[in-house]
Amino acid sequence: MEDKYSSNVLSGGKLGMVEVPDSRLTRYIVLLILSKILKALGIFESYDILKVVHIVQFIFILKFGSAVILLVFQKPFSSGKVISKRQWIKLVKHAVSSCIISLLGFFGLTLCGPLRTLLLFEHSDVVVVALLGVLFTNSGGGPSKTRGAAFFIIAVICLLLFDNDQLMAKMGDHHPEGHHDSALTHFLYTAISLLGVADHKSKVDSWSSLVVPFAMIIFSVVILEFYVEAVCSAKMEAPRCARYGAFALFPAALALANFWTGPLRRPPPTQLATEHVLSGGVIVSAVFFVIASSILTAPSKKGQKGTLVGYSPEGTPLYNLMGDALQHTSQSLPRFIKDSLKQILEEYDSRQIFYFLCLNLAFTFVELFYGVWTNSLGLISDGFHMLFDCSALVLGLFAALMTRWKATRIFSYGFGRVEILSGFINGLFLMVIAFFVFVESVSRLLDPPNINTDMLTPVSVGGLLVNLVGICAFSHAHAHSHGGKSCSSQDHGHSHHGHSHGEHGHAHGGHGHSHGVFLHVLADTLGSVGVIISTILIRQFGWLIADPICSLFIATLIFLSVIPLLKDACEVLLLRTPPEQEKDLNSALEKIEKIEGVLSYRDPHFWRHSANVIAGTVHLQVMSDVVEQRIIQQVTAILKDAGVNNLSVQVEKEAYFQHMSGLSTGFQDVLAMTRQMASMKYPNDGTLIL
């Protein structure tokens, strides 16, 4: 009984269709994977054969061979029903279209190599149907499917745009006498030459030498795949089949593409570049294809996850399918983005941060693109640094959003603390940056580099402009720039604005905060002034040492200005009694002790949860003859005056206190005792659920 209703079984979450465990299907999965790998091998092989055989001949041989073999095995004429005329027409249509498809497929193979063909062409019908369903129908199957489709599309785009396969360019000039640079051709060549029937340079001389590869292709690409797919889809669901197929096929193709041009090959002396190069785009797109097909074929989880909310009077478990589970996982991504955008734009603070983030990001991307275009490493690395800084901004934005989320069952106090955490993280960010600026400036102090002031001007002016925009946008806030680092040509001229804003979100909390903000502003102003001064010094007098000194100064200032912020955040995170309320709370506690009937209080804990929530708990010992409710109300009122707005008071009468103090001293013993008691006692009381 106990087991059956234990929470593990109940709130495991799955109510829907049960998947057969993988262990029972291992045989079929292995078979499937093997057949997929063989298929990849076959495609690679046929690519090589297609170089010597014309495509029409190739397809004819392929179809003919497979037809003969299948005829022998399946016996379509001697078994089964007679085919009607209408079915014949269908058959012919099917045959023609499949011929055209394979013609196109193999033509593509000759054009763009086996790996890309595999990536584009060999998708299971389940995946394609799911993709089309997402793209062109409304009921695509939820957010996860949309994600899968997005992955798929990204993969295709990656393959189209970022894959500079220079096969076409090389084809003409490098090997005019035919492509014998691929591994298999060489392998075949050597193998055949061993047999004594060697030639593959001219168009097909000896068809006999191609029998083995053709047989292999027919076997692996057509026959084996057909049977294995049939068996596997009989034993497993089709989506699973497709998933494992994709898992096997794409990595196998990648590996083959790598190795066949790699160590297996006997390197031809004239040839330096391999024909089908593994570019980053192909790898990325292969990974994305695998992810996409695994997502698209994953069984729809909708409505299968629930949280246990309790038991009905009959004892059957009740699930809440709409609660926490939905809030985080099942919201569709586009809608989530739309909603959060709306929320961001609603509030002034977050709107400003958002605009600034957009500005920063645009600046970054312009920089990155320009850097890639002009192949300037300095700009690229600077762009990455700016992206890093943007992450702080994103964090602040995210925190501003998250604090407005409602409390859930899991996060019962709400998400107000995100703000503090993000302030803390931003502070740490700033510290790290200050540290690195410090280190770099020390190393420059010892060995001042030759600074190219030509680059300095546009970069620093740009940074200053962005900062000015920032200042205008957040006129109430402050923006800070240590473009000071931009003093060198290969370094960074970005504004660290972002940080300050993230923190600013909660900067109005108290004295400590405003102090921190003041310091911050001071540091920033001095920093900007420092940059200008160092620029002038370098320009006018050629004092290169001014730059590292200036950066040292800025780093120290940042460091000092961040410390109070970090200290505040740490105190909140360590659950300190809020310093501003400390006096009020002490006097409130004294007042509580004077309430009539209160003996004393125990374990008073007060802590700030977020900017506007102060939580508190206190135990009260009261005399046994007073009305508890009245005391609770009085205490709540007193503490509310002191600023505590999330309070719970536990009122204890003396006998109870004895009991509880016993409980807390010999914890383990009492725990064992209570367990024993519970097992004996509850059935009598009728308090146990079962």
Partner 1 sequence: MLPLSIKDDEYKPAKFNLLLKLSGWFRSILADKTSRNLFFFLCLNLSFAFVELTYGIWSNSLGLISDSFHMFFDCTALLAGLAASVISRWRSNDSFSYGYVRAEVLAGFVNGLFLIFTAFFIFSEGVERALEPPDVHHERLLPVSVAGLLVNLVGIFVFQHGGHGHSHGDGGHGHSHSLFNGSLSHGHGGHGGHGHSHDGHGHSHDGHGHSHDKHGDHGHMDDGFSAGVLLHIIADTLGSIGVIISALLMQKYDLMIADPICSMLIALLIGVSVVPLLKESIGILMQRTPPSLDNALPECYQRVQQLQGVYNLQEPHFWTLCTDVYIGTLKLLVAPDADTRWILSQTHNIFTQVGVRQLYVQIDTAAM
Of the ranges 94-102, 162-170, 240-248, 376-384, which one interacts with partner 1 (CB under 8 A)?
376-384
At closest approach, how far in Å is the CB of 511 from partner 1?
Answer: 16
Nearer to partner 1, 139 or 687 (CB): 687
At 464, which amino acid appears?
L
Q: Which of 155, 275, 609, 639 binds partner 1 (CB under 8 A)?
A: 609
Binding mask 474-513 for partner 1 (x = CB under 8 A): --------------x-x-----------------------
Among 377, 476, 625, 680, binds partner 1 (CB under 8 A): 377
Do 320 and 311 touch, CB atoms closer than 8 A?
no
Q: Enumerate residues 149-168 that contact partner 1 by CB under 8 A.
A: none
Nearer to partner 1, 64 or 370 (CB): 370
Count of all residues that appear for the chain in the document: 690
Of 1, 7, 138, 173, the one binding partner 1 by CB under 8 A: 7
Other CB atoms closer than 10 Å to residue 144's CB: what's the count? 20
- Considering only the stretches 61-69, 185-193, 207-215, 610-618, report the one whose residues sit in contact with partner 1 under the rule CB under 8 A: 610-618
Q: Which of 632, 611, 637 is nearest to 620 (CA)?
A: 632
Give the CA distances from residue 218 to residues 26, 39, 45, 184, 513, in Å, rounded to whole numbers and listed in that order.
26, 10, 11, 17, 75
Residues from 97 through 136 that contact partner 1 (CB under 8 A): none
Q: Using CB under 8 A, which residues numbered 384 to 443 contact partner 1?
A: 384-385, 388, 409-413, 415, 417-418, 421, 425, 428, 432, 435, 438-440, 442-443
Q: Which of 125, 173, 314, 447 binds partner 1 (CB under 8 A)?
A: 447
Q: Which of 502, 500, 506 is nearest to 480 (CA)?
A: 500
514 binds partner 1 (CB under 8 A): no
Long-range own/partner contacts, residues 272-278 (CB < 8 A, 24 or more apart): 273/166, 273/170, 273/174, 274/181, 275/113, 275/167, 275/170, 275/179, 275/181, 275/182, 276/113, 276/114, 276/115, 276/116, 276/165, 276/167, 276/182, 277/165, 277/166, 278/115, 278/254
User: Please, which of residues 231-270 interact with partner 1 by CB under 8 A?
Assistant: none
Residue 110 vs 646, nearer CB to partner 1: 646
Minimum CB separation of residue 270 from partner 1 in Å reads 19
Name the segment binding partner 1 (CB under 8 A); options: 3-11, 49-57, 227-235, 465-473. 3-11
Is the separation of the CB atoms in 590 and 480 below 8 Å?
Answer: no
Q: 51, 175, 302, 619: which one contacts partner 1 (CB under 8 A)?
A: 619
Looking only at residues 8 through 27 of this chain, which bind partner 1 when binding is defined by CB under 8 A?
Answer: 8, 11
> Which range touches partner 1 (CB under 8 A), out of 193-201, 467-475, 547-555, 682-690?
682-690
What whole-number distance in Å separates Cα of residue 656 and Cα of residue 642? 28
Q: How far is the CB of 472 from partner 1 (least distance, A)?
A: 31
Dihedral angle, C-alpha 262, 264, 269, 270, nearest 10 °: -50
**Footprint (CB under 8 A) of partner 1, residues 522-541:** none
Interhelix angle 183-195/26-50, rounded to 10 degrees, is: 80
Characterize 376-413 residue by residue with b for buried, 16 or more Cβ atoms within 10 angstroms of its Cβ, and e for exposed: bebbbebbebbbbbbebbbbbbbbbbbbeeeeeeeeee
Question: How far apart are CB 126 and partner 1 at their closest, in Å?
Answer: 30
Residues in binding contact with partner 1, number by CB under 8 A: 90
Q: How far is the CB of 575 from partner 1 (least distance, A)?
A: 5
Tell me the torsion sign for CA atoms 348, 349, 355, 356.
positive
**Minimum gap (Å) between residue 577 Cβ and partner 1:** 5
Q: Please, what is the minimum distance in Å from the beta carbon of residue 372 to partner 1?
A: 8
Q: Which is nearer to partner 1, 133 or 378 (CB)?
A: 378
Q: Closest CB to partner 1 among 53 and 569?
A: 569
Which of 233, 285 has the CB closer to partner 1?
285
Rg of the chain over all Cα atoms, to the nearest angstrom? 36
Q: Which is nearer to partner 1, 173 or 314 (CB)?
A: 314
* Interaction mask 553-582, partner 1, x per CB under 8 A: -----------------x--xxxxx-x--x
CB of residue 207 vs partner 1: minimum separation in angstroms? 39
| Pick from 16, 35, 17, 18: nearest CA to 233 | 35
> Is the Cβ of residue 78 or residue 684 nearer to partner 1 in the bound state?
684
310-349 residues near partner 1, rule: CB under 8 A:
310-311
Spell out, one character per residue from 623 to 662, where the chain touches partner 1: x when CB under 8 A holds, - when not. -----xx--x--------------xxxxxxx-xx--xx--
Closer residue to partner 1, CB minimum distance, 8 or 540: 8
Cα–Cα distance for residue pair 224/41, rounded to 1 Å: 13
Specify the residue for token string 């190219």: 452
Task: Using the minimum distance from each CB to partner 1, give the nearer residue, 6 or 475.
Answer: 6
| Least distance to partner 1, CB of residue 568, Å | 13
Q: By CB under 8 A, tell whether 73 contacts partner 1.
A: no
User: Over 624-659, what HEC string results?
Assistant: CCCCHHHHHHHHHHHHHHCCCCEEEEEEEEHHHHHH
When the beta carbons of 560 and 573 are compared against partner 1, the nearer one is: 573
Least separation in angstroms between CB 683 and partner 1: 12
Q: How far are the Cα atoms of 400, 401, 506, 611 from residue 510, in angstroms, in the given order?
A: 18, 22, 9, 9
CB half-sphere exposure, 63, CA atoms < 13 A: 15
670 interacts with partner 1 by CB under 8 A: yes
CB of 155 to partner 1, least distance (A): 19
Q: CA–CA separation, 537 vs 557, rounded Å? A: 21
Residue 412 — φ and ψ, nearest 5°? -75, -20
> Which ranges of 162-224 would DSSP assign to H, the alpha helix?
167-174, 183-195, 211-217
CB of 84 to partner 1, least distance (A): 59
How many helices, marked H, and strands, marked E, lie in the chain? 26, 5
Q: How far apart are CA 651 and CA 64, in angstroms?
A: 90
Would you say 94 or 675 has its CB closer to partner 1?
675
DSSP 483: G
Per CB under 8 A, which of residues 173..202 are in contact with partner 1? none
**Cβ closest to partner 1, residue 76 vs residue 662:** 662
- CA–CA distance, 193 with 354 (Å, rounded to integer): 68
| First-to-final CA distance of the chain | 8
Helix (H, G, I), strand (E, B) or coil at 477: coil
